[in-house]
A and B are shown apart, each in its own frame.
Chain A
Amino acid sequence: MENERRVVSVILQNEASALSRITDLFSARGYNIESLTVAPIPESKYSRLTIATSGSVRVIEQIIKQLHKLIPVLRVYEHADLVEKEMAMVKFPISENLSDIETLSKAYNGKIVNVGNDMIIAMVADEPKRVSHYLEAVKRFNPKEIVRSGTVALER
C-alpha cells in the first residue's frame, strides 16, 4: 500500500497532559509524525494541533479514529483541500550578500528580520514544499542555523 502525506488537525482541551496523549498515541502505535504544531485557540478552552503525518489509507484512517478516541479530543479534521503554511528562519554570516538573500526571501513570502553585528536572520512563510525549496536555494549563502516551525493548515 502506498504511503501518502496527510495533514490532520485536532481540536483538544487545554490540559496539562493533552499533548503527551497525542504524542504517546503516535509512538505507541508506530505512526509517523513529520511535524506537529500546537497553540491555544483564542477565547476558548481548546487548543488546535496540526500534525503532518504519512501512512497508507488504512493507517491514516486508524490515526483519525484513534485520535478521536482520546477523551480530551473534541474534533479531528483530515484536510483534503487546505491552505497550508510553514515558517522557517535562517541565520547567515554578515559577509553574505544581503540583497541577494533579501530578494530570494521575498520570493518565498519572507524578508530579513534581523541584522546584527556578525549575522543576519531571514524568515519565510510558505507552503512546506516551497519552504524546502527555499532552504535548498539558500545553501550557497552558507546558512549557520535553520529552524522550521512545522506546518499549520486550514480547510478552504
Chain B
Amino acid sequence: MQMSGAQMVIEALKHEGVDTVFGYPGGAIMNVYDEIYKQNNFQHILTRHEQAAVHAAEGYAKVTGKVGVAMVTSGPGFTNAVTGIADAYMDSIPLVVISGQVPMSLIGTDAFQEIDSVGISRSCTKHNYLVTDAADLPRVLKEAFYLAATGRPGPVHVDIPKDVTAQIAEFDYSRPVEMETYKPTTKGNARQIKKAIDAIAVAKRPLLYLGGGVINANAADEVRAFAKLTGIPAVETLMARGTMGADNPLMISMLGMHGSYAANMAMSETDLIIGLGARFDDRVTGKLSEFAKNADVIHVDIDPASISKLVNAEYPIVGDVKYVVEEMTTLAKGKIDAERYVPWLETIEHFNKLHPLGYEEEPGVIKPQWVIERIGQLLGEKANISTDVGQHQMWTAQFYPFSRPRQFISSGGLGTMGFGFPAAMGVKRGDPERVSINVTGDGSILMNIQELMTSVEYKLPVINVILNNHFLGMVRQWQTLFYDKRYSETDLSMQPNWVGLVESFGGVGYNVETKEEFDAALKDAVEKNVVAMINVNVSRFENVLPMVPAGGSLFNMMLEYKDK
C-alpha cells in the first residue's frame, strides 16, 4: 500500500502491537504527530520532558518485557532523550526511540534544531538508523523492533528526516526480518553445558551468581527450579532482585558494594561461580585481582562479549539463559546430589548469623531502612517498586522483600538520578493492577518533578516515597567516609514545600514524622489513587552498610561506622 513515511510509522507501531508511546512533539516530527492525532491504535502519553519519556518507556518495558517506545523531535528533543537511551543501553532494556530530523536537504548545514543524532546515539544504542528514503522505513522499523527485543536486548534509535515522513512510498510489513549480519545464538553449546554440569557435580561450594539477564530472558522459574533441584545457593545483583524470591531458602542476598556480608563472603569463598546473565560489573566484583580467587567460572550469557571480559570463564556458554538452564536442569537430574552442598549452606548460614543485614533503631526518628521494610510488609507482592539513585536505592534493594522478577525497577548501569518517577509511570501503565511505588530521595525526585503533571493527566498514580535526609545522601556518605566530612555541595537543607508542590499539580502530599503517620499516609495514598508524595523525614546521617569501598576487595567490608 502507498502511504507517507509518517503513516508508515503509525502502521508499523500497529503491526508491532504497541499500545503506548511516550513522547514529546516538535517541528521535525510534526508529520508523525499529525498522524498520531488521527489514529487510535495506541495511546500517546505526553511526558513533560523527553528524558522522562524514555525513562517511562524503560519502566514500561521492564515491567512488561515488551519493547518500550519513545518519540521525540530533532535537536534538543533528541539530546534530552539521550540520558534515557544511555540508561537503557547500560541495563539492556528493549526500546525503540524514534526521533525527527531536519529535512535531508538541510542535513549538514547547521540548520535550526539540527544535531547529528545518530552520531550521538551510536555509542549508546544497540543499533541506530538514519532513514534517507521512506521506502526503507518498513524494513528499518521492523528491524528496529527485532533488534531491540532479541539477543541481548537494548535501545534502537531511528532518526527520520522531516521530508522522509512526508514522502510517499510502498508499505509492506509482511516481509520477515532478514539480517545476514545478525544472528544471535540462543541455544548453548551442548558439550559445554555438559562440561559445566560435570564441574558442578565435583564442586564443593558452587554459587549461583544471578544478573539482570535472567530477568530479561524470563528465566526466573527455570533458575529457581535448578537451584531447588541441586540445592545450590544464589546471590543476586541489583538488576536481578526478585529472581529467587526473598523467602527462598537458597537465596542469600544481593552482593557487591552494598551487598550483604553473607553474599559477599559466599562469593569470596566459592569454588565454582555459576554466572547467569551477569556481567561482573565493578560494583559487584570489587578489586578484580582479589575477586573469588579460588573459583572456576561457568558463565552463561547471550552476549559473547560479556564472557571473559573481566573475569576469565573456564566454562563459557553463549546462549539464552532460559534455554541453557533448562538443559542444565535436565542434565543435573540424578547427577547432582543436593546433599553434597549442605556443609556449604551451613557455612553461609554461619556468615548470615555473624553479620545479618540490619540497622539500629533510634528513638524519635524514622530509619530509612524501616520505611522500606514497612512498605514491604504493607504491600509486599502487590506493589512494583521503582527507585531513583542514591542511598534510598540501595536500602530498597537490601530491605524490600522482592518476590518476583520485574518487581524491582532501578537504574543500575548508568545510575541515573531522575529515573524513578517517570519509570514508575511507565510501570503503572504496563501493570495497572499493581501499586506503583517510587522510592526516591530529596535530590533525585527534583530531577524529573515535572512529571507530576503527566501522572495526573494520564491517571498514572505513582506513590513517590521520599526518604528525605536533606542530603545528596550517597555522596554525603562518601564525603563522611573518605573526604573528612567536607560536605561539598551535598547539603539539601533548602527544601520545597513538598505537599504544596504535589497539590499544585492535583496530587496528594504527606509530611511524615512518625511511623504511625507513615502507615496512614501510605494507606491513604493507595486509596486515593492519584499521584502522591510521601515526604518521610529520616535520620540524616545514616550510612548504607555493609560497604566495600570502591576498588577494595569484596571480602573487606565496612560493617559499621562509628562517628568519632
Residues on A facing B (Cβ under 8 Å) = 12-13, 16-17, 20-21, 24, 28, 58, 61-62, 65-66, 68-69, 71-74
Contacts and interface: CB of A to CB of B under 8 A. Distances in A.
Residue among B122, B123, B180, B181 with most chain A CB within 10 A: B181
B182 A66 contact: no
B62 interface: no
B476 interface: no
B305 A13 contact: no
Contacts of A73: 181
A58 B308 contact: yes
Given A71-B179, A72-B181, A74-B180, A17 B122 contact: yes
B304 A65 contact: yes
A73 B182 CA distance: 8
Residue among B127, B179, B304, B305 with most chain A CB within 10 A: B305
Interface in B292-321: 303-305, 308-309
Given A13-B181, A20-B122, A71 B127 contact: yes
A16 B308 CA distance: 32
A68 B304 contact: yes
21 contacts: A12-B181, A13-B181, A17-B118, A17-B130, A20-B119, A20-B122, A24-B123, A28-B123, A58-B308, A61-B308, A62-B309, A68-B305, A69-B303, A69-B304, A69-B305, A71-B147, A71-B179, A71-B181, A71-B182, A72-B181, A73-B181
A71 B154 CA distance: 12
Nearest to B125: A71
Interface of B: 118-119, 122-123, 126-127, 130, 147, 179-182, 303-305, 308-309
Contacts of B130: 16-17
A29 to B, nearest CB: 10
Contacts of A58: 308
* Top 10 A-B pairs, shortest CB-CB distance: A65-B305, A71-B127, A74-B181, A28-B123, A24-B122, A69-B305, A65-B304, A71-B182, A66-B305, A24-B123
Nearest to B151: A69
A104 B115 CA distance: 51
Contacts of B304: 65, 68-69
A16 B119 CA distance: 11
Nearest to A13: B181
Nearest to A74: B181
Nearest to A25: B123
Nearest to A73: B181
Contacts of B308: 58, 61
Contacts of A20: 119, 122
Contacts of B181: 12-13, 71-74
A62 to B, nearest CB: 6
A24 B125 CA distance: 12
Given A24-B122, A65-B309, A71-B126, 15 more contacts: A12-B181, A16-B130, A58-B308, A62-B305, A62-B309, A65-B305, A68-B304, A68-B305, A69-B303, A69-B305, A71-B182, A72-B181, A73-B181, A74-B180, A74-B181
Nearest to B127: A71
Nearest to B132: A16
A74 to B, nearest CB: 5
Residue among A24, A66, A69, A73 with most chain B CB within 10 A: A69
B231 to A, nearest CB: 34
A122 to B, nearest CB: 39
A19 to B, nearest CB: 11
Contacts of B118: 17
A65 B309 CA distance: 9
Contact of B122 (A21, A61, A65): A21
Contacts of B123: 24, 28
Contacts of B122: 17, 20-21, 24
